[in-house]
Amino acid sequence: MNEDNEEGLLSGIIVLDMSQFLAGPMAALRLGDLGARIIKIERPDGGDLCRRLYLSDTEIGGDSTLFHAINRGKESFAINMKDESDLRELRALIAKADVVIQNFRPGVIERLGLDYAAVAAINPRIVYGSITGYGPDNEWRLFPGQDLLAQARSGAMWLNGEADDGPVPFGLAVADMLAGNLLVQAILAGLVRRGVTGRGVHVETSLLEAMVDFQFEVLTTHLNDGGRLPQKSAVRNAHAYLAAPYGVYRCADGWLALAMMPLAQLAPLLDLPELAVCTPDDAFQRRDEIKSMIAGRLKEETAQQWLAILEPADIWAAEVLDWPKLLQSAAFRQLDMLQTVTRDDGTSVRTTASPIRVNGVRSKNSLAAPTIGGQSDKVRAEFIGDR
């Protein structure tokens, strides 16, 4: 067990991460951040396909930065799930585990004999977490469960960009990360329930369900206002359902974000008396016109000059930072959210740390993502023995 996690909230919980790519491994990562021991089940011939899924041309120690980011702190147990001898070892490991996570396409896990019914027969106390692309039994179930494709089918792309842009995807794998976080919530609830009843449970979600839930606020509006489609602003759009001045504006030297506020409050600060007489209805119905006025004024001064005026007046505004500015800021450094992790082959990676603090302390560990099967012998000796 990782010594730094011995006092974690989930210390003593053993998680078998049988998932690949991002959503499932991200869920296991978060459980590990909370103190669980994560044993990653990988193929001996290449391991998790994410090891070669490059975000750029950067690799570290033969693995992608993406793999390193979502598999830090884990152990790797390499087996061939099509080999009966290896499967016997995996079943022996399942018998002593607390949680299993898998994100195979519907039907695959059943063919392997590792679906929830089969696993629960081995270990009735197991909390079994599944992530699919679109759910286990609907007509989309066999479509590739990939993030961009899930975004495309969710309707969410029509909320991004400006009025004439068409559908705009998020610049992050939001479906994967949201689904992973939802599965963490469900697994934690399953562990609590097991503590009460002594029985395990199967919890599951999908990329599509995560994306629909992500939109619950605006989708509820759509469902209750006659089915009107979202109307994106043609000028500095940031939210299809919010009125002026909500948006991101260019200044003389950078960018400034303005959140929701009465336009009359903003009028004297920007020296735009026209805003003082705008009604709440105007703020939406004349949204593009009003935002154009604001945009024209803000570009005349620097972001810091505007913040010196807006912040003392309690206006909700912020400079739009890029990564270098964020990382150099005192506020970010005070959060202490970065760490350097290493593994036994000498590979060292600078990455993020857990976003959760417990009693004021952020958990960190020193272990990088594992080499393929790097802990197989250790795991076999500890949990399986001679078979």
Phi, psi of 303 (to 5 degrees): -60, -40
Contact between residue 315 and residue 261 where contact means Cβ atoms under 8 Å apart: yes
Contact between residue 26 and residue 15 where contact means Cβ atoms under 8 Å apart: no
Coil, helix or strand at residue 233? coil
- Distance, CA of 84 to CA of 99 (rounded, Å): 22
Q: 76 - beta bridge partners?
A: 40
Coil, helix or strand at residue 80? coil
Indicate which residue of 165, 176, 314, 345 is catalytic.
176
- Distance, CA of 230 to CA of 199 (rounded, Å): 45
- Distance, CA of 201 to CA of 205 (rounded, Å): 14
Phi, psi of 79 (to 5 degrees): -145, 160
Verify whether residue 48 is a known catalytic residue.
no
DSSP class of residue 155? S
Contact between residue 290 and residue 278 where contact means Cβ atoms under 8 Å apart: yes
> First vs last Cα of the chain: how many Å apart?
23
DSSP class of residue 247? E
**How do the residues of the chain divide into helix, strand and coil, expressed in percent and rounded to 5?**
40, 15, 40
Count of alpha carbons within 13 angstroms of residue 45, beta-carbon side: 3
| Residue 300 token pair | 């005349």
State the alpha helices, DSSP H only, in the chain.
Answer: 23-33, 65-71, 84-94, 108-111, 116-122, 147-154, 174-197, 207-214, 216-224, 263-270, 280-285, 287-298, 303-310, 323-328, 330-335, 376-379
Place of tokens 């359902």: 241
Cα 48-19-124 angle, rounded to 5 deg:
140
How many helices (H) and strands (E) in the chain?
Answer: 16, 15
Q: 319 - beta bridge partners?
A: 256
Task: Report, as residue numbers or ranges, the catalytic residues.
Answer: 176
